[in-house]
Copies of this chain bind each other. A is one copy, B any other.
Amino acid sequence: MNHKRGFASDNNSGVHPSVLAAMSSVNEGHFVAYGDDPFTESAIGKIKKEFGEDAEVFFVFTGTAANVLGLKASTENWNSIICADTAHIHCDECGAPEFFTGCKLLTVSAPDGKLTPDLLKKHMHGFDFEHHSQPGVVSITQATELGTVYTVPEIKEVCDYAHSLGLLTHMDGARICNAAASLGVSFREMTAGAGIDVLSFGGTKNGLMYGEAIIFFNSSLSRNFKYIRKQGMQLASKMRYIAAQFEAMLTGRLWYNNASHANKMACLLAEEVSKIPGIDLTQKVQINGVFAIVPPEIVPELQKEYFFYVWDEATSEVRWMTSWDTTEEDVMGFVKLLRNKMG
């Protein structure tokens, strides 16, 4: 059974020991199901400390659910949702956003995965025209699917633009911890402080077992959200085990340690592979992902020892993700193999 750490995805890793321990620690006794328990209360309190006391917090199971239900709360069926053409909500959720919200997704080509007012402009028309899906939400991903990071002013600029036209703003924060660690700014600055209305706060890719939080910074959106979550099949009965995970993640800055370690490993990997002639990095390395062009003929051989995904068959661009548990040895072992194959 090959369970060697590879570079496929940060969700191929296991669960951080402190998180597992926290889950065990809440196991004793009976507690009211569906979130009316003291562990959930405590974890939500911790999240509010990071994001602001006005934040409204709801746990769900998956990142896709966090995105889709957050968008559902922010739209009417006849809205459009605007995102980068590399966005997870567009590429990797099997149409769940369309199916569940009824909305149209409109995409913008963004070479580094980041939206700007200029890029958004082309979809900002047809307001008040009933034949046209009404622009409703701009969704950005922080950090992006291409491993890049929006600065706080960049987020603010997108949010201000969206709000000026009456749109709401959504952030897919599946890797928000990596972004926060990379930028050295607080969660709050990057979200509520910059104008985000609703956030998917990801945990699974940063050492949790399962569980994400939807955080609303706009109370008009969350008022009836409990029904959306239940109807969306995302209300956990034994909620205390999600709560325990978030409690652990926000204790002793575990989230930061995990994320900054993963980021550091990606930097090391990028630094080392960029020394190898014939390997070209295609994106800035700002979090825990490295994108590079690699000769296609060696890809299968590399994958045999360290699993990873080809991002773009056409250009032989690959993606290498590091994780909270990636070691220097993992990186250097892979670099050695790569150097070898590049001969």
Which residues of A are in contact with B by a Cβ distance under 8 Å?
Answer: 1, 3-6, 8-9, 11-15, 17, 20, 23-24, 26-34, 38, 61-65, 68-69, 76-80, 90-96, 98-100, 102-105, 125, 130-134, 204, 209-210, 224, 226-238, 241, 307, 313, 323, 325
Contact = CB atoms under 8 A, between A and B. Distances in A.
Given A98-B105, A233-B234, 13 more contacts: A3-B29, A3-B31, A6-B30, A9-B33, A15-B27, A61-B233, A64-B230, A80-B95, A90-B104, A93-B233, A95-B231, A98-B102, A99-B102
Given A6-B30, A130-B230, A77 B95 contact: yes
Contacts of A27: 14-15, 17, 20
A321 to B, nearest CB: 10
- Integer count of this chain's copies in the complex: 4
By Cβ-Cβ distance, the 10 closest A-B pairs, closest first, are: A3-B29, A78-B227, A99-B102, A65-B233, A95-B133, A11-B237, A94-B230, A95-B104, A12-B30, A130-B226
A32 B102 contact: no
A100 to B, nearest CB: 8
A233 B78 contact: no
Nearest to A104: B95
Contact of A241 (B62, B78, B125, B209): B209
A236 B62 contact: yes
A234 B1 CA distance: 26
A309 to B, nearest CB: 10
Given A28-B14, A238-B15, A96 B230 contact: yes
A7 to B, nearest CB: 9
Contacts of A227: 76, 78, 94, 130, 134
B307 A32 contact: yes
A319 to B, nearest CB: 14
Contacts of A92: 131-132
Contacts of A237: 11, 62-63, 204, 210
Contacts of A241: 15, 209-210
Nearest to A125: B313
Contacts of A231: 77-78, 93-96, 99, 102
A205 to B, nearest CB: 8
A76 B307 contact: no
